[in-house]
Amino acid sequence: MTSMKVASTLDELRESRRSCASPFGLVPTMGALHAGHVALVRRARAECASVGASLFVNPAQFGSNEDLSNYPRTFQRDLELLGATGANVVYTPRAEEVYPPGFQTFVTVDEVSRPLEGASRPGHFRGVATIVAKLFLVFSPDRAYFGQKDAQQVAVIRRMVRDLGFPLTVVVVPTVRERDGLALSSRNAYLSPAERTAAPVLFRALSAAAEAFDRGERSGDWLRATMKSVLSREPLAEPVYVSAADPETLGELGEVAGDVLLSMAVRFGSTRLIDNFLFERGRWETGIREG
């Protein structure tokens, strides 16, 4: 186990960061860590000489009607997990330090932020891009690790990195899933037992569309209809959107000519889950099943 430094202020972080060997890998998180987050830290550990993580429930990416105050917080356990996985430094700032009084400077990634998650969560990606830009500035990572689980977040951050010229590589790590296919998420903790039983329907719907694609189906409408039809057979599942889109621009596809991102958001009671499969470079990225 490495001895991990916990920095709760910017000054402490700068101090700790100075003594970290290069290349430096960064894993931004909102805490409530699970095996998906651990996969990001492990990958960073394997590819970098030192690894930093952040634990910060970022108020700017939550809408006023969202779960900011109830978002699961397991701070001590998160620190233990990060230490055991080999992080060298963890930044755990207070919101007042990240957003000082009078704060009014935001990063907006226009078009990629608009559809899908952006349409149902206005302002979400402005909050994400702003915190990630701030973390890039304070950590100066050589590599930054994000989960495929949040595919639109990946598209937004890649666009921001290109547009603002951050000198770093974005690394995308496959989605870690439960044995029944449910993608690990801090929000799974909100599901009732019946909702938890129903939740793998996202994976089944994505699988059905991927199978249709593998049989030669290239109509975007057909792929979206295939996912909707599987979801409609699960009474507890209320679809928010289903999408078959260009993975980079996130524009919906009429005909799929090359790569495609199949994605969806589905409500179970008050809990909103997202998931996706990505077809890229001639193969599916569907994630890794645990357990």
Residues serving a catalytic function are 37
Nearest-angstrom CA–CA distance, 55 and 65: 22
30 binds ligand AMP (CB under 6 A): yes
E-only strand ranges, 16-96: 24-29, 50-55, 89-91
Site string for ligand AMP, 171-200 (x = CB under 6 A): --x-xx------xxxx--------------
98 binds ligand AMP (CB under 6 A): no
Size of the site for ligand AMP (CB under 6 A): 17
Stretch that binds ligand AMP, among 17-25, 37-45, 69-77, 92-100 (CB under 6 A): 37-45
Segment 38-67, which members bind ligand AMP (CB under 6 A)? 39-40
Question: Which contacts (CB < 8 Å, 24+ apart) does range 273-276 have?
Answer: 273/183, 273/185, 273/187, 273/188, 273/199, 273/202, 274/117, 274/149, 274/150, 274/183, 274/202, 275/149, 275/175, 275/183, 275/202, 275/203, 275/206, 276/148, 276/149, 276/151, 276/175, 276/206
Tell me the three state secondary structure of residue 231: helix
- Tell me whether residue 253 or residue 273 sits nearer to ligand AMP (CB atom): 273
Element (H, E) at 157: helix 151-164
223 binds ligand AMP (CB under 6 A): no
Are 30 and 71 a contacting pair, CB within 8 Å? yes
36 binds ligand AMP (CB under 6 A): yes
Structure tokens at 168: 């770093």
Segment 133-172, which members bind ligand AMP (CB under 6 A)? 146-147, 149-150
From the CB of 156, what's the least distance to ligand AMP, in Å?
12
Stretch that binds ligand AMP, among 30-38, 46-54, 163-171, 255-263 (CB under 6 A): 30-38
DSSP 8-class letter at 224: H
Are 284 and 260 a contacting pair, CB within 8 Å? no
116 binds ligand AMP (CB under 6 A): no
- Tell me whether residue 102 or residue 291 sits nearer to ligand AMP (CB atom): 291
- Tell me whether residue 116 or residue 256 sits nearer to ligand AMP (CB atom): 116
Site residues for ligand AMP per CB under 6 A: 29-30, 36-37, 39-40, 146-147, 149-150, 173, 175-176, 183-186
